[in-house]
Amino acid sequence: MTHEPSPVPRLVARTQEISDPGPLLDLLPVDAPMTWLRRGEGVITWGVAAECRTSGEARFSDASTWWRNVVRVAAVADEVEVPGSGLICLGSFAFADEPGDSVLVIPRVVVGRRGDRFWVTTIGSAAVETPRLETQDAPEPPVNLVFADGALSGAEWEGVVWEAVLHLNAGELDKVVLARDLIATADAPIDVRWPLRRLGSEYEMCWTFHVDGLFGATPELLVRREKGLVTSRVLAGTIRRTGDDEHDLTLAATLARSSKDLEEHEYAVRSVAEALEPYCTSMNVPETPFVLHLPNVMHLATDVAGVAHDSGASVLELAAALHPSAAVGGTPTKLAVEMIAEIEGMDRGRYAGPVGWMNAHGDGEFGIALRSAEIDGARVRLFAGCGIVAGSDPEAELAEAQAKFVPVRDSLAGA
């Protein structure tokens, strides 16, 4: 599928500071809602002022060009001037080059929070009246939700993992990330605000997002660009939590010493550092990861940081340079992505692709669309993936994938 070049609109954006309007997710209406939130901070948006749909290998560059052209002709009045105020867009990009269907959306209304500052931005072809911000009626839960295997059953996916391990043991590559899907179907169209509210509450240390039907709570920040500082959080190496704090501390220590997980993590960190290096004047890459504790799992994590060149690529251009990292593709990445296309048995869509927001200065945040799902009416397609190395056990990897389904799966459940 190809997309015609999106027209470049002449937009007027106006940001005003406001008093605390309450929890942002409670304000979100049903009109094309989008979110990017962590610990209650970030932005919610609704309505569509303009959008750019791109596809294929040039999806990132085409979207970047369109955004630069939009910014060049826009009129922006921003009295707040913090990350997320002013003219912004939200985007979600496909994992693979083909079909590669991706989107940038400029919302009509943005409500944001940064620390103790709050604002509302209106965007349109002319000045838009500032909306009245009100707590919305609570969304209804999905009706009679039923789960079923996606492209492959659990046993079939274990077979795919075993096939990958054979290639890895033969020395063809070092790591490959394999994903599987799960299908949820309800009796009536699902209000995406239902899972968003639950994810935002239960996984507040993650980035709760929704862009054009793709939603989730990702623990992994692909890249942030803010006033010259570039940062990226790398997650690779996972162990499931038991709910027993003392036992979980023991498991965390086991994870931190696991040669299999440390090897997988090292590949991912190296991938990110090498991709960012051409865009930075200096970099800090910690030698030892820390253990990130989430409600359902624990990850090995490393925060990579750098100082951007003065000319400065935008956060979207940095995301394009980083994607796909070893954390979602494998090592060597080109060979791993080819193997994914050959044996995984499904189209990932925008799962594990970059998702996030960007402002008129090229600053912003893009995460990796993990712990995510695509919603289409009464149908939701959930995704989960695992890093496979030579020592991987297919049964253990299936259990890890099942654990990674939990956040979105539970968010869809009834009250």
pLDDT at 4: 67
- Lowest model confidence (mean pLDDT) among 46-55, 321-330, 345-354: 321-330
Question: Model-level pTM?
Answer: 0.91
Q: Average the pLDDT over 95-101 and give the result.
A: 92
Q: Average the pLDDT over 59-85 and give the result.
A: 96
End-to-end CA distance of the chain: 39
Is residue 414 pLDDT above 80, yes or no? Answer: no
Closest CA to 219 of 319, 299, 276, 112: 299
Higher pLDDT, 245 or 35: 35
User: Any idea which residues carry the catalytic annotation?
Assistant: 175, 220
Q: Average the pLDDT over 109-137 and give the result.
A: 93
Give residue 298's pLDDT band: very low, low, confident or very high (50, 70, 90). Answer: confident
Give residue 323's pLDDT band: very low, low, confident or very high (50, 70, 90). Answer: very high
pLDDT at 210: 98
* Percent over 90 (pLDDT), the chain: 73
Closest CA to 110 of 135, 130, 91: 130
Is residue 1 pLDDT above 80, yes or no? Answer: no
- The per-residue pLDDT for range 205-251, each reduced to its tens digit, is 999 999 999 999 998 899 999 988 999 988 878 888 888 888 888 88
* Percent over 70 (pLDDT), the chain: 98
pLDDT at 335: 95
pLDDT at 130: 87
In Å, what is the CA distance from 302 to each residue of 175, 241, 279, 364, 367? 18, 20, 19, 20, 15
Is residue 311 pLDDT above 70, yes or no? Answer: no
- The per-residue pLDDT for range 262-294, each reduced to its tens digit, is 887 887 888 888 889 899 988 898 888 999 888
Is residue 117 pLDDT above 80, yes or no? Answer: yes
- Say which residues have a Cβ less than 8 Å from residue 6's Cβ, sequence separation at least 6: 50, 51, 52, 53, 66
pLDDT at 378: 98
Higher pLDDT, 26 or 252: 26
Is residue 116 pLDDT above 60, yes or no? Answer: yes
pLDDT at 2: 55
